[in-house]
Amino acid sequence: MEKIPLLGLGTWKSSPQEVTEAIKTAIDLGYRHFDTAFFYHNEKEVGEGIQQKIKEGTVKREDLFIVTKLWNTFHEKDLVKSACQNSLKNLQLDYLDLYLVHCPMGFKAGDDEIPTDQNGMIIASETDYLDTWEIECHPFLTQEKLINYCHSKGISVTAYRPLGGTSDFFNEPIIKKIAEKYKKSVAQVLIRFHIQRNVAVIPKSVTPSRIKENFQVFDFELAKEDMDSLLSLNRNLRLATFPYAKNHKDYPFNIEY
């Protein structure tokens, strides 16, 4: 069974103009796990960065773990294969290491990636789903029950938005105190938090210094009391709520997990 590198580079909201260089910088620093998606509109540029490094001989394809995702408008059975093939073409790859269902909600097929009705609510497809996906996870949304369940069933978990996307994490006194204790940045503590939970983590950055900093998390270990302190910050605060899809029959955030 192929193993997922616990630390990867996320590319959500990384502009096509910046992401190729970010990928190349990350490969040079030792990253081997890269996460993109059709919906990010940067697969081609991610692929370009990967291909340049392979051609240079810095890495081999088999050294890398490449993830992309099936967008919601392609859930119908006869659309999945062509969507996957299109992503492979964009990435200039023969295979993917992981192909995820981006969201567990099918949308109406067509050119509109977020098809909505006159009330601004999503137009669903009739497809059903039976799969797993990445989950939002950070100290304000620790997902303990879901992660424990997944690990008990041998299901790998990847945390998206591990740094939150808000300044709250960086101003949280407990997190700042832990960072000072280990002489690490808040971001490094947050990334290490996931690694010690055996959860893959994909912080996004296009800034070389931050890409480097985010990878420097294997030279320290958070003590149990610090892990417990981070877990105690849970507020069940979900930052990605997809409000336009709350009417969807498969809207995932109404269930217990």
Q: Are the C-beta atoms of residues 199 and 149 closer than 8 Å to each other? A: no
Contact predicate 137/159, CB 8 Å: yes
Domain region containing 224 = 9-240
What digits encode the pLDDT tens for the residues 149-206? 889 988 888 998 888 766 577 889 999 999 999 999 999 999 999 999 999 999 989 9
The model's confidence at residue 251, banded by pLDDT at 50, 70 and 90, is: confident
CA-angle at 87, arms to 215 and 43, nearest 5°: 45
Neighbours of 184 (CB within 10 A): 20
Handedness of CA 249, 252, 254, 257 (dihedral sign): positive
Q: What is the pLDDT of residues 118-130, one digit of tens each?
A: 999 999 998 766 5
Q: Is residue 60 part of a domain?
A: yes
> Which of the listed ranges 100-104, 162-166, 225-229, 235-239 does the model predict with the highest average pLDDT?
225-229
Q: What does the mean pLDDT of the chain come to?
A: 91
In a domain, 126, yes or no: yes
Residue 3, in any domain of the structure: no
**179 in any annotated domain:** yes
Question: Is residue 182 domain-resident?
Answer: yes
Does some domain include residue 77? yes
31 is catalytic: no
Total number of domains in the chain = 1
Q: Is residue 247 part of a domain?
A: no
- Residue 82 identity: S
Q: Is residue 1 part of a domain?
A: no
Separation of alpha carbons 75 and 183, rounded Å: 46
pTM equals: 0.81
The pLDDT, as a whole number, for residue 167 is: 57
Catalytic residue among 31, 40, 160, 251: 40
Q: What is the CATH number of the domain that holds 170?
A: 3.20.20.100
- Measured CA to CA, the distance from residue 31 to residue 25 in angstroms comes to 9
